[in-house]
Amino acid sequence: EPEVTQTPSHQVTQMGQEVILRCVPISNHLYFYWYRQILGQKVEFLVSFYNNEISEKSEIFDDQFSVERPDGSNFTLKIRSTKLEDSAMYFCASSDQGFQPQHFGDGTRLSIL
Amino acid sequence: DQQVKQNSPSLSVQEGRISILNCDYTNSMFDYFLWYKKYPAEGPTFLISISSIKDKNEDGRFTVFLNKSAKHLSLHIVPSQPGDSAVYFCAAVGFGNEKLTFGTGTRLTIIP
């Protein structure tokens, strides 16, 4: 069964540094998403992306965050200047033209020191 | 943000019996609901969904029931198997929206 793949599985970064999280969505999917889960909290929506532009974003997704689909297969989340509170599990998801269901990758654990 | 609530953080069920997981929501704009299962160190895996125009959807051992007037949905797993032990998340989405709003999850343990 096709899968969403995310790399790396664990990223450790110094506060203030830039970090890029990478995702390869399911190949025929058109809608792409990032979510995060801070330890002990809910999974929270960050951003959705369709047709090479952001279609919806949450209040968490401020100017420090950006997304990009640099080629036909990758989907990235960049955090420009990381903060301690950015430590979380980040999940990438994708869906086909029917929007739902969204299929999730196994996540990247981001640890900010 | 408590728009989707799962009030039971954990549930233990004997193997072979029925597992019932509950979810409540407050936002009347939600019109599509999903259940995801999550194992440790893995991402959420889609299980089953239901549109607000239905009150029941069944897929094998999994059945989701929706009570719109009560703003309540439930996931029934029967018979429960040891591999069903995981955290189960309820999620909801509004018409024309894309973002999933998740509940806090219920940890289901199936006792052999």
The predicted-structure confidence for B29-73, as pLDDT tens digits, reads as follows: 999 999 999 999 899 999 999 999 999 999 999 999 999 999 999
| B63 CB neighbour count, 10 Å cutoff | 18
Q: Which of A51, A7, A50, A3 is nearest to A27 (CA)?
A: A3
Contact check, Cβ <8 Å, B93/A100: yes
State pLDDT tens for residues A13-35: 999 999 999 999 998 899 999 99
Residue type, A6: Q
| A100 CB neighbour count, 10 Å cutoff | 18
Does the beta carbon of B103 lie under 8 angstroms from any beta carbon of chain A? yes
Contact check, Cβ <8 Å, B46/A99: no
State pLDDT tens for residues A78-104: 999 999 999 999 999 999 876 679 999
Rounded Cα gap, residues A75 and B18, in angstroms = 40
Instruction: Give residue B98's pLDDT band: very low, low, confident or very high (50, 70, 90).
Output: confident
Maximum Cα–Cα distance across chain B: 43
State pLDDT tens for residues B37-47: 999 989 999 99
What does the block give as tokens for B76? 């029934």
Flag whether pLDDT at A1 surpasses 80: no
Q: Which of B45, B1, B7 is nearest to A58 (CA)?
A: B1
Rounded Cα gap, residues A90 and A67, in angstroms = 13
Looking at residue B41, its pLDDT comes to: 87
Report the residue from A33, A99, A103 with minimal CB separation from B46. Answer: A103
Rounded Cα gap, residues B87 and A20, in angstroms = 28
Flag whether pLDDT at A40 surpasses 90: no
Instruction: Provide, as residue numbers in chain A, all residues whose Cβ is less than 8 Å from the Cβ of B1.
Output: 42
A91 close to A36: Cβ distance less than 8 angstroms: yes
Q: First CA to last CA across chain A, in angstroms? A: 37
Rounded Cα gap, residues B47 and A42, in angstroms = 18
Rounded to a whole number, what is the distance in Å from the CA of A52 to chain B's nearest CA? Answer: 15
Share of chain B above pLDDT 70, in %: 99
Instruction: Provide, as residue numbers in chain B, all residues whose Cβ is less than 8 Å from the Cβ of A100.
Output: 32, 34, 49, 93
Q: Cis check for the bond before B79: say yes or no (omega within 30 of 0).
A: yes
What are the angstrom distances between the C-alpha of A78 and each of A22, A23, A37, B26? 9, 11, 16, 33
B52 close to B65: Cβ distance less than 8 angstroms: no
Q: Which of A84, A81, A80 is nearest to A111 (CA)?
A: A84
Task: Tally A–B CB contacts below 8 A.
Answer: 55
- Write out the H or E segment, with its range, that includes residue A95: strand A88-95
